[in-house]
Amino acid sequence: MTQPNEPRTTGNKYFADDAPIGRRVFAKGRTAVWQARLVLLVMINIAQLWILSATIEAALAGHFKQLVPLIVGSGVCWLIALTIFLWWKPVKQRKRLDR
């Protein structure tokens, strides 16, 4: 049994935060954050593919007035996906202080 101040191990020679990606032990909340990020990225990518197909269809049909809003919408989807990928990460666990 580990003491409250000792770091958690993965059952191997690694500490929980230093283990390779495949061997990391995450808390349930951290796993939920990663799953939510993945779901959001998939949903945004599907919407962006739909916008891309509408853009190509409008361009081939000669409806050039529709291109600007579709390109702007695709750019907004790209920026949202970029922010989710780069900045929306779970906060690292803080060390507990004994009271």
**Within-domain flag for 51:** yes
Q: Rounded distance, CA 56 to CA 46, Å?
A: 15
CB atoms within 10 A of CB 32: 12
Overall pTM > 0.85: no
Q: What is the pLDDT of residue 29?
A: 72
DSSP code per residue over 38-59 = HHHHHHHHHHHHHHHHHHHHHH
- Provide the domain count of the chain: 1
Category of 24 on φ-ψ map: left (φ > 0), alpha (ψ -120 to 50) or beta: beta
**Within-domain flag for 64:** yes
**Within-domain flag for 67:** yes
How does DSSP classify residue 1? -
**Within-domain flag for 26:** no
* Share above pLDDT 70 across residues of the chain, in percent, rounded to a whole number: 61
Domain extent, residue 52, equals 34-86
Predicted confidence (pLDDT) per residue in 57-85, tens digit = 999 999 999 999 999 999 999 999 999 88
How does DSSP classify residue 22? G
- pLDDT averaged over the chain? 79
Q: What is the pLDDT of residue 65?
A: 94
**Within-domain flag for 38:** yes
